[in-house]
C-alpha cells in the first residue's frame, strides 16, 4: 500500500511539473493540473490514514485520535473532487471534440479563466456538500 502511494505521489509530481511548464495553459491543462493536485493530496491523506487501517496501535497518541476523523473527511472530500474533476474534463473534451465551433465561440466569448471557474467552483461546492455526512457521523 505504501509503495503504491509513493508511486502515486511521484507520478502526480511529475505530471504537475510537466503541466506547469506548458507555455499556453488551456482550459484542459488547467483542469488536469487541478486533478493532479487533488489526487496528490488524496494520496497524501490516505497515507496518513493508513496506520489504523493496517491495525497498528495509534490509540495511545491523543493527537492522532483527534485528527483521524478530519483526515477521513478530507480524504472523502478529495475523492469527490477527483471524481467531479474527471467528469468536468470529460465534459470539456466532449464539447471540444464534438462541437468544436461552439466550443471555440464559448472560449473566445467568456475566456478560459471564466470557463475554468464554471467547472472548478461547482466541483468544490458539490464536493463539500457531499462530504457533510462524513463530518456529522
The CATH architecture assigned to 2-136 reads Up-down Bundle (1.20)
* Residue-range domain boundaries for the chain: 2-136
- Report which of residues 137 and 24 the model is more confident about: 24
C-alpha torsion 96→99→100→105, nearest 10:
-100
Q: Which residues contact residue 57 at a Cβ distance below 8 angstroms, ignoring those fewer than 6 apart?
A: none
Residues 61-88: tens digit of each pLDDT: 666 667 777 888 888 899 999 999 999 9
Residues 6-63: tens digit of each pLDDT: 888 899 999 999 988 888 778 999 999 999 999 999 988 888 777 665 566 655 666 6
- In angstroms, the Cα distances linking 40 to 19, 75, 106, 120 are 14, 11, 31, 17
Amino acid at each position: 500500500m505504501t509503495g503504491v502511494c509513493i508511486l502515486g505521489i511521484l507520478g502526480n509530481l511529475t505530471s504537475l511539473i510537466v503541466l506547469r511548464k506548458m507555455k499556453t495553459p488551456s482550459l484542459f491543462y488547467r483542469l488536469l493540473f487541478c486533478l493532479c493536485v487533488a489526487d496528490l493530496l488524496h494520496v497524501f491523506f490516505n497515507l496518513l490514514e493508513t496506520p489504523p487501517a493496517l491495525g497498528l496501535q495509534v490509540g495511545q497518541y491523543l493527537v492522532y485520535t483527534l485528527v483521524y476523523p478530519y483526515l477521513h473527511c478530507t480524504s472523502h472530500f478529495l475523492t469527490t473532487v477527483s471524481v467531479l474533476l474527471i467528469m468536468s474534463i470529460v465534459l470539456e473534451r466532449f464539447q471540444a471534440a464534438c462541437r468544436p465551433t461552439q466550443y471555440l465561440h464559448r472560449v473566445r466569448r467568456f475566456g478560459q479563466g471564466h470557463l475554468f471557474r464554471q467547472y472548478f467552483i461547482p466541483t468544490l461546492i458539490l464536493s463539500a456538500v457531499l462530504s457533510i455526512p462524513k463530518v456529522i457521523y
